[in-house]
């Protein structure tokens, strides 16, 4: 067995921390004495990662205003990290998602002779197609989580490997709804709406209030419905305040974390666009996707949007299989109406729910691979091409 490498990594926010943690699992199976360091979160640290900065430092939202407010801090962190890695070079640098932070750093490290890997292909097939040139300069290899991406990258001369989506291996093909409800103190007969307003501070600022106002309207139509929110601990107090402002203070059940249990337990979910929508699809749950951001951020994003869909389940299915209510369309009334349609379908048109579950099952099967092992195998070939 080859000597264990020293691997530097950067993972931004909660989803990147989860992906990086699974990648570390695969690498540790190859190299039991693996050394990892850089920017990471609790999932990575649990596996022995030396976090020089916590991953939440990179948790920014939007395309312009939100990032600009913290740009000086982010650039300072990247400069310090680059200098530290150039002074004491790792065997390989792996940037996990966070392309705005990682690709520039990877380009500098690669120019200095350090091997670079980017895990999670930026969504050049959805928007910002011009970013492909930056990927080509920055990454020796890209680890892709969607099956169509390696061919797309190959057209631009970028080496890539499809490793499957890690969440597809973590989430069971048939979720245990009863166990999840028991864990959360819910009855099997309860009608349950899950509300997932996002894991970033700015997401909570923009979308939580419309979500809770929509939930209040849903509750007027269906008084017995149970409302449950999985909250990132750091944002819990803000979510509690938003629930109170919507008149739901004594009604909504707010739990710390446990988003997978909440998705397994619910009948439908009102959910912010992002990775969580893919998780909801893997749990085979009907959903209403909502999102709102700073108006300038939205204008800039729309100019570069390449597909009619915003939510990952719709992008991957190539169809509007679940409703999307984005920006000005994300009113409490519209969010409520779309949510009630799913709840009514469970009672009166179960064939619609069955059809959606079949689409999501096929999606799950296409994404399910042994991601930690495939990713670690690809990294081993990059480190030892002749092996």
- Looking at residue 271, which CATH number applies to its domain? 3.40.50.2000
Residues 142 and 200 in one domain: no
226, 311 Cβ separation under 8 angstroms = no
Q: Assess if residue 199 is contained within a domain.
A: yes
Residue 29: which domain range?
Answer: 6-164+369-383
CA dist., res. 325 & res. 342, Å (int): 15
Q: Six-digit token pair at 100? A: 């705005």
List, in order, residues 6 or more apart from 39 with CB less than 8 Å away. Answer: 9, 10, 11, 12, 51, 52, 53, 54, 55, 57, 58, 77, 81
In angstroms, the first-to-last Cα distance of the chain is 10
Angle between helical axes of 332-348 and 350-367 (0-180°, round to 10)? 100
- What residues have CB less than 8 Å from 69, skipping those under 6 apart? none
Whether 43 and 122 map to the same domain: the answer is yes
Please work out, in degrees rounded to the nearest 5, the angle formed at the alpha carbon of residue 102 by the alpha carbons of 169 and 9.
60
pLDDT one digit per residue (tens) for the chain, 387 residues: 457 899 999 998 777 898 899 899 999 998 999 999 999 999 999 999 999 999 887 765 444 455 666 778 888 999 999 999 999 999 999 999 889 899 999 999 999 999 999 999 987 765 566 788 999 999 999 999 998 899 989 999 999 999 999 889 889 999 999 999 999 999 999 999 999 987 666 666 668 899 999 999 999 999 999 999 998 887 888 888 888 999 998 899 999 889 999 999 999 999 998 889 999 999 999 999 997 765 666 555 665 554 566 888 998 998 899 999 987 898 999 999 999 999 999 999 999 999 999 999 999 999 999 999 999 999 999 998 865
Q: Which residues contact 355 (CB under 8 A, 6 or more apart)?
A: none
pLDDT value of residue 135: 94
Task: Report helix angle 236-245 to 201-221, nearest 10.
Answer: 40
Instruction: In whole angstroms, give the CA distance from residue 41 to residue 50.
Output: 10
The answer on 67 and 42 residing in a single domain is yes
Q: Are 122 and 16 in contact (CB under 8 A)?
A: no
Distance CA 179, CA 322 (A): 26
Residue 57 is classified by DSSP as G
171: in domain: no
Cα pseudo-dihedral 231, 235, 236, 237, rounded to 10? -160
Q: Are residues 313 and 242 in the same domain?
A: yes
CB 36 within 8 A of CB 379: no
β-strand partners of 226 = 192
The answer to whether residues 140 and 252 belong to one domain is no
> Beta partners for 270?
195, 288
Pairing state between β 160-162 and 92-96: unpaired
Residue 346 burial (C-beta neighbours within 10 Å; 0-12, 13-18, 19+):
middle
d(CA 208, CA 198): 8
Number of domains in the chain: 2
Confirm whether 1 is domain-assigned.
no
**Of all helices (H) and strands (E), which one includes residue 9?**
strand 6-11
Please name the residues in contact with 232: beta carbons below 8 A apart, sequence gap of 6 or more: 14, 199, 257
Local structure of 370: helix, strand or coil: coil
Q: Are 201 and 154 found together in one domain? A: no
Q: Are residues 287 and 358 in the same domain?
A: yes
Q: Are residues 250 and 143 in the same domain?
A: no
Alpha helices in 247-370 (DSSP H): 259-265, 275-282, 295-303, 312-317, 332-348, 350-367
Look up the pTM and report it.
0.79
Name the DSSP letter for residue 235.
G
Give me 387's structure tokens. Answer: 């092996």
> 172 in a domain, yes or no?
no
Q: Is residue 215 part of a domain?
A: yes
Please tell me the predicted confidence (pLDDT) of residue 73: 85
Between the alpha carbon of residue 292 and those of residues 195, 196, 205, 273, 325, the distances in Å are 15, 13, 9, 9, 9
Q: What is the structure's pLDDT at 311?
A: 85
């Amino acid at each position: 067995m080859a000597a264990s490498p020293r691997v530097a990594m950067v993972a931004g926010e909660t989803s990147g921390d989860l992906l990086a943690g699974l990648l570390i699992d695969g690498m540790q199976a190859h190299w039991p004495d693996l050394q990892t360091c850089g920017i990471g979160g609790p999932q990575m640290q649990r596996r022995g990662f030396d976090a020089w900065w916590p991953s939440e430092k990179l948790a920014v939202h939007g395309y312009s205003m939100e990032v600009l407010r913290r740009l000086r801090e982010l650039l300072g962190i990247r400069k310090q990290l680059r200098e530290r890695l150039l002074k004491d070079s790792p065997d390989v640098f792996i940037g996990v998602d966070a392309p705005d932070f990682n690709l520039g750093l990877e380009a500098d490290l690669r120019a200095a002779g350090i091997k670079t890997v980017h895990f999670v292909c930026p969504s050049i097939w959805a928007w910002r197609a011009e970013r492909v040139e930056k990927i080509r300069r920055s990454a020796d290899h890209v680890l892709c989580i969607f099956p169509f991406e390696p061919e797309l990258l190959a057209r631009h001369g970028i080496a890539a490997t499809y490793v499957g989506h890690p969440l597809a291996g973590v989430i069971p093909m048939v979720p245990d709804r009863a166990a999840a409800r028991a864990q959360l103190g819910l009855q099997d007969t309860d009608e349950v709406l899950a509300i997932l307003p996002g894991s970033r501070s700015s997401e909570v600022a923009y979308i939580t209030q419309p979500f809770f106002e929509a939930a209040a309207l849903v509750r007027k139509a269906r008084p017995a419905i149970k409302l449950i929110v999985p909250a990132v601990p750091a944002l819990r107090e803000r979510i509690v305040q938003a629930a109170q402002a919507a008149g739901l203070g004594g009604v909504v059940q707010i739990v710390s974390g446990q988003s997978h249990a909440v998705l397994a337990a619910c009948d439908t979910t009102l959910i912010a666009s992002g990775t969580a929508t893919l998780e909801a699809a893997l749990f085979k749950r009907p959903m209403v996707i909502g999102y709102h951001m700073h108006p300038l951020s939205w204008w800039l994003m729309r100019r570069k949007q390449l597909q009619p869909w915003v939510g990952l389940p719709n992008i991957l299915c190539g169809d509007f299989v679940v409703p999307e209510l984005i920006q000005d369309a994300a009113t409490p009334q519209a969010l409520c109406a779309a949510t009630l349609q799913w709840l009514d379908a469970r009672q009166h048109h179960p064939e619609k729910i069955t059809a959606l579950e079949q689409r999501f099952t096929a999606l799950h099967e296409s994404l399910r691979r042994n991601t930690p092992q495939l990713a670690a195998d690809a990294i081993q070939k990059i480190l030892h091409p002749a092996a």
